[in-house]
């Protein structure tokens, strides 16, 4: 899927689940590239509705506001709107639908603004490093406290317990980051990928392949690592 701006591709696979509760968008508004992955939270009713709502509202908000607000403010507004909409849906339908969301806005100079709620993840990959967003999860708290290594976190039975998700409360805490991705590769994924494939393997695959092939190989790697979840990945670079 070639687009003006960054070269990019996206793919989503149902994996071993009965339905795919992941949603994603790859788009362009003016000088900005948009990328986002949402993962409907397992165990909650209508996770697929929540993830699609989050992606739609992110795209709509960016289209409305990017011409007059800074990207970080657009992300804040998009996440607030998505959370409010999903929470209202839950109140009306007597459900507890929820979703993660990791969304990136990239300008023509390679400046990248990233918003994250939950454990969908954005990574910035270079030959020498892999930077990643911080998961809002119970296990990430253990890693931050020095009680688990990242490798141990991937095997922990509580790795899917979230501390934040869109739609479960009237307010949500959004993690906002700003990074330079000039010369790097951007990877946005649901946990069906990064809970099973270590950062070093993701790095090797994305640096060795063009975006469409990298997406295919990443999904294959997740399946080979016995991922039981939906798997969604976006790969983008100059």
Digitized pLDDT (tens) for each residue of the chain, 238 residues in all: 444 579 999 999 999 998 999 999 999 999 999 999 999 996 567 899 999 999 999 999 999 999 999 999 999 999 999 999 999 999 999 999 999 999 999 999 999 999 999 999 999 999 999 999 999 988 888 988 999 888 888 888 887 889 999 999 999 999 999 999 999 999 999 999 999 999 999 999 999 999 999 999 999 999 999 999 999 999 999 8
Distance separating alpha carbons of residues 157 and 153, to the nearest angstrom: 9
Given the candidates 3.60.40.10, 3.30.70.20, 3.40.1280.10, 1.10.10.10, the CATH classification of the domain at 7-237 is 3.60.40.10
Distance separating alpha carbons of residues 152 and 210, to the nearest angstrom: 30
Q: What stretch of H or E contains 33?
A: strand 32-39
Q: In what order do the strands lie in the sheet with 121-125?
A: 7-13, 231-237, 185-189, 121-125, 130-132
- Distances in Å between the Cα of 216 and the Cα atoms of 39, 140, 202, 220 are 19, 27, 12, 6
Helices assigned H by DSSP within the chain = 47-65, 71-93, 138-144, 150-155, 191-194, 199-207, 211-224
- pTM for the whole thing? 0.94
Please give the backbone phi and psi of residue 106, each rounded to the nearest 5 degrees, phi first.
Answer: -125, 130
Cβ atoms 100, 39 nearer than 8 A: yes
Local structure of 73: helix, strand or coil: helix
**Using CA of residue 44, residue 45, residue 51, residue 53, what is the dihedral sign?**
negative
Total residues belonging to the chain: 238
């Amino acid at each position: 899927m070639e687009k003006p701006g960054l070269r990019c591709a996206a793919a989503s696979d149902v994996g071993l689940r009965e339905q795919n509760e992941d949603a994603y968008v790859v788009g362009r508004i003016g000088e900005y590239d948009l990328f986002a992955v949402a993962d409907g939270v397992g165990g909650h009713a209508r996770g697929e509705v929540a993830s699609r709502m989050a992606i739609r509202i992110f795209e709509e908000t960016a289209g409305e506001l990017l011409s007059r607000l800074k990207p970080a403010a657009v992300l804040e507004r998009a996440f607030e709107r998505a959370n409010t909409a999903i929470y209202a849906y839950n109140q009306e339908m007597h459900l507890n639908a929820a979703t993660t969301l990791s969304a990136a806005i990239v300008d023509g100079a390679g400046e990248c603004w990233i918003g994250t709620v939950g454990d969908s993840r954005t990574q910035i990959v270079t030959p020498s490093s892999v930077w990643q967003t911080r998961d809002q999860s119970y296990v990430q708290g253990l890693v931050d406290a020095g009680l688990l290594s990242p490798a141990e976190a991937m095997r922990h039975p509580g790795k899917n317990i979230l501390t934040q998700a869109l739609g479960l409360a009237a307010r949500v805490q959004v993690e906002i980051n700003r990074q330079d991705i000039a010369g790097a590769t951007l990877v946005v994924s649901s946990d069906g990928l990064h809970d099973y494939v270590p950062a070093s393997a993701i790095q090797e695959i994305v640096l060795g392949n063009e975006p469409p092939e990298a997406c295919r190989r990443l999904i294959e790697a997740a399946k080979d690592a016995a991922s039981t979840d939906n798997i969604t990945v976006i790969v983008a670079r100059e």
